[in-house]
Amino acid sequence: MAYLLVKHTVEDFSKWKVGFDDHEATRKEHGSKGGMLFRTSENPNSLVILLEWDNIENARKFTESDELKKKMEELGVITKPDIFYLDKIEDVSF
């Protein structure tokens, strides 16, 4: 399984969230299978996004697209995103 992990800070979470939700169809077209949103306890505008993807190549194409860069700017992303492409190794349970 392939995952995309993104960490960045936004100006205003509420504004960003509306745009993120509106962008769902585009992510899906590029291979996203959904995922989870997190924010740090210290700053509600500091976000971590973990998305499942059909494959790493499609995730990389999506994150490197001019369309996404423009969208992030429109939605008030104020830091350069930290992006990680991850291959799932195993589930761990206790």
Residue 70, CA distances (Å) to 40, 54, 64, 77 in order = 24, 23, 11, 10
Confidence (pLDDT) at 19? 96
Low-confidence ranges of the chain (pLDDT < 70): none
Q: pTM for the full model?
A: 0.92
Confidence (pLDDT) at 59? 97
**What amino acid occupies position 92?**
V
Confidence (pLDDT) at 1? 86
Confidence (pLDDT) at 69? 95
Q: Which residues contact 20 (CB under 8 A, 6 or more apart)?
A: 37, 75
